[in-house]
Amino acid sequence: MPKFPIDAPKRKVIKALEALGFKMVREHEHIAMKRENSDGTTTPLTMPNHKNIKGSTLCTICNQAGISRDEFLEAFRKS
């Protein structure tokens, strides 16, 4: 199973999440994003506003937002 990047650049992570349908709601100490789902619900996502995002943090973000590891890594590589 492929691993998350150790220290992923914040901008590349945001681009990958946007490719997965998330839109930025607010950026301050944390970055708040949300995705409108086809069934009318929304999926919130919050991540720290650091220059680089640790792999363990990415894993937690993806788990809480319901994004599979492979799905995120594919979007991350394309961004």
**Residues 57, 15: contact at Cβ < 8 Å?**
no
Range of the domain at 32: 7-78
Whole-model pTM: value is 0.93
First to last CA, the chain: 20
Q: Using CA atoms, how far apart are residues 27 and 76, in angstroms rounded to an integer?
A: 20
Residue 2, domain member (yes or no):
no
Q: Is residue 1 part of a domain?
A: no
Q: Is residue 57 part of a domain?
A: yes
Beta-bridge partner residues of 43: 35
* Within a domain: 32: yes
The CATH number of whichever domain residue 53 belongs to comes to 3.30.920.30
Judged against a pLDDT cut of 90, whether residue 34 lies above it is answered with yes
pLDDT at 16 over 80: yes
Using the predicted structure, report yes or no on whether residue 26 has a pLDDT greater than 80. Answer: yes
How many domains does the chain divide into? Answer: 1
